[in-house]
Amino acid sequence: MSENFMTQYGDRLIAGGFPFLPIVPGEKFPGRFERGAWLPYKGWTRHAARATTTHELAIWKQWPDAGIGIPCGLVAGVDIDIADDIGLAERFQSLAFELLGETPAVRIGNAPKRMLVYRTDAPFKGIKAHPLEVLCQGQQFVAYAIHPGTGRPYEWPVRSLADLTLADLPVITEAQARAFIDQGLVLLPEGMRPVRLERNHSVIPNGSPSPVVCQTSHDLGGTQEAIQDALRHLVNADLPYDDWVRVGMALKGALGEAGAGLFADWSASSAKNVPETTARAWASFHPTVIGAGTIYHLAQRHGWKPDAALTLNPANQHPGPHPAAPLLQKVPRVPLAAPAEDAPPFLDGPEWNVTDMDGVLGHLVDYMVSTATRPQPILAVGNALCALGALMGRRYRTETDIRSNLYVVGIADSGSGKNHSREVITDLLFRAGLKKFLGGNRIASGAGLLRAIHDHPAILFQQDEFGMFLQAAADRKRSPKHITDILDLMTELYSSSATVFLGPEYAMPDKKGRQDINQPCLCLYGTTTPTLFWTALKSANVADGSLARFLILKTQDDYPEASGAAALRQPPEELVAALAAIAQNGSGGEGNLANLTTGPETAIHPQVVSMLPEARERFAALNRQVTALLRRSRGSQFSPILARAWENAAKVALIRAVSADPAQPVIRDEDALWAIALVRYAVNTFIADVERFVADNQTEQNHKRVLGIIQSARAKGITQRDLSRRTQFLDRRQRQEVVQALLDGGQIVGESRPSRTQPAMVYRVP
């Protein structure tokens, strides 16, 4: 009978204050058990920043054969990876006890390898110098499980971690960790010493400095010590495939084959690393325009500040004084202009788990996902937020008077399961007696939109084929005014949720007088395919701010595995009741259900939802980041998108907080973290796709469509034959012109690859 590690150790680890997470049986990486199968756990790093809850443990106890892992951050692990020399392993342990303190938590997996567990007051990025490693921020280690190599449980020969508290562990700092690594390398035999980790200022045992410089045959090169130092700031916490390839290509461009070890070590820090795949990918890399500059740029974006002693370019490496030193001393120093920042202004932040929700929001999304034939969690989240936003409309507000009106567009390909969440919401609101909150399936005109909101000032519209609507509404030259009015009115209503929306004045006598709406709450959830959405847009639609009010949520998997679930089933009664409670539990019992009067004389007094100090600091940090990016991208098409990020995050946090406790809601740290991460995902995806797809003329659109097709082929590239087949919207001459322009601009590279008959031309993104 298999051991249930969660049952055996989970409660004791919670009592000791340790964060932990589930480990896939027989593996060393975090996982989730979903629909009868173990899957990699995306976004597991969130567990390092907070205590594990009893609710999470109750769920994990039901997952078969789950191991227990410890996410690092507050916890740090010293990994001594010595496989066949017990004396050397014990000397490293003694050195760690001397420099870092004697920890009672020593874990043995495959002896004599061992892990020494410490804690930190200030988490830092992990430090690796094989066979030594200090695991910290963005990393994890297995505490209780069956070791995949020995087939036996991990052992704790001194004291089990579950018998300790976090306070029992010695505190270490980054400086202490680096001192341990540096002194530990001196203990290594000459043949085991990792040369690539030496720096200009390092001294090997014979006392002579040994700078390691890797020359490449082109001008993309960097020095080994500078690349190594920069790479420490690029944490490989389960990065997307494109980012992984980009770093690998840049490493090979910078160091040639000498960078293979760095790439292998860096890849190995990810839980999803497969060494054979890493080796094959490295062999396939043939960089021509990407190298050290990319590594340095990415590292600086993540906080790297290169030491003045580092030499970044091997061409500048000289054994003695620079030959131009006397001349350079006579040249007056002038400040250099700041480098141009052409890169898109992306928001930075920690990893995020889309399904990490509690309260009614979590219950609603779980129900949508569990009943879907093709589950789409990100689309379910978007629709659930809009539905709850409408139900709590005009009943709650933040301290800064932010309301719950929200516009969301869900983007996924045809046949991917876009419709399911709309069907669920419609069914639930009818069952809960809340059908008045539902607008029609189509908005036919601006006047129709105003009439619907006047009749019920908090309302949800769920629109399929939103891309087709957008094509018409955004085309002011060809579309009739009653259609273009819809988008204009939506823009005005979005900004009128905390005041009185003044209706239009009509000159015709058969029209009613002006109809005002007090604190309208319009929520809209639209779905569309990528092609329809992006072909509808021009850069002016992005720059005018109308679309910046939308959260654009792009699916993370267009065609997830079919679950076999029924499209709809009898919803849980507690979910139906919870939706009704959110619509009714406002301040003083007034609001949408109690009073549907829409005139400015109607007294609307929404309940104020306060924000805890830690959540307030999260939003302050977001505001600082957004402000810096706005200054950098002043006047660009990205400015309106960034300008709404804080407001949309506040709306999402408000909805999540009310869904957790409709009677006495408060915006918690977890509400702020999750809301900011959701908006960051939406903003970054939107910015990337705007740059990739939005075009103002047919020529530019053709270039971007062809580039997108080549990008979708990833590192393997696409053959000329396949590219011709997928670009039938172009004739041969147009195709040749577009491909040549992309080649000339360095956006793609072409290379000849052998085939069974004759060499094939392959295009790929560098």
Q: What is the CA radius of gyration of the chain?
A: 29
Judged by average pLDDT, the poorest of 186-195, 370-379, 492-501 is 186-195
pLDDT band at 331 (very low <50, low <70, confident <90, very high): very low
Most confident of 269-273, 308-312, 426-430: 426-430
pLDDT given for residue 105 in this prediction? 96
| pLDDT for residue 566 is more than 60 | no
pLDDT given for residue 96 in this prediction? 94
Q: What is the mean pLDDT of residues 203-232?
A: 56
| pLDDT for residue 711 is more than 60 | yes
- How deeply is 34 buried, as exposed, middle or buried, from its count of CB atoms within 10 A (0-12, 13-18, 19+)? middle
Q: What is the mean pLDDT of residues 419-431?
A: 92
Judged by average pLDDT, the poorest of 29-33, 114-118, 279-283, 341-345 is 341-345
pLDDT band at 291 (very low <50, low <70, confident <90, very high): confident
**pLDDT 10s digits, 640-655:** 888 899 999 999 999 9
pLDDT given for residue 193 in this prediction? 60
CA distance 638 to 561: 35
Judged by average pLDDT, the poorest of 93-102, 579-588, 708-717 is 579-588
Q: What is the mean pLDDT of residues 240-265?
A: 84
Q: What is the mean pLDDT of residues 248-272?
A: 85
pLDDT given for residue 139 in this prediction? 92
Q: What is the mean pLDDT of residues 155-163?
A: 94
pLDDT band at 102 (very low <50, low <70, confident <90, very high): very high
Q: How does the average pLDDT of the chain come out, rounded?
A: 81
| pLDDT for residue 762 is more than 80 | yes
Please tell me which residue, 656 or 33, carries the higher pLDDT value: 656
Please tell me whether the peptide bond between 131 and the residue prior to it is cis, using omega within 30 degrees of 0. Answer: yes
**pLDDT 10s digits, 4-62:** 899 999 999 999 999 999 999 989 999 988 878 888 888 888 888 888 888 889 889 98
CA distance 432 to 29: 42
Most confident of 225-239, 445-459, 680-694: 445-459
Q: Report the candidate in 172, 134, 153 with the shortest Cα–Cα distance to residue 67.
A: 153
pLDDT given for residue 738 in this prediction? 84
pLDDT given for residue 513 in this prediction? 61
Helices 698-712 and 669-693: crossing angle in degrees, nearest 10, is 120
pLDDT given for residue 312 in this prediction? 77
Q: What is the mean pLDDT of residues 263-280?
A: 81
pLDDT band at 413 (very low <50, low <70, confident <90, very high): confident
pLDDT given for residue 75 in this prediction? 95
pLDDT band at 199 (very low <50, low <70, confident <90, very high): very low
| pLDDT for residue 429 is more than 90 | yes
Report in angstroms the alpha-carbon separations of 616 from 399, 405, 629, 659, 756: 11, 21, 20, 19, 63
What predicted TM-score, i.e. pTM, was given to this entire model? Answer: 0.53
pLDDT given for residue 563 in this prediction? 66
Q: Report the candidate in 687, 585, 611, 608 with the shortest Cα–Cα distance to residue 644.
A: 687
pLDDT given for residue 322 in this prediction? 44
pLDDT band at 613 (very low <50, low <70, confident <90, very high): very high
**pLDDT 10s digits, 176-192:** 999 898 888 878 876 66
CA distance 344 to 269: 27
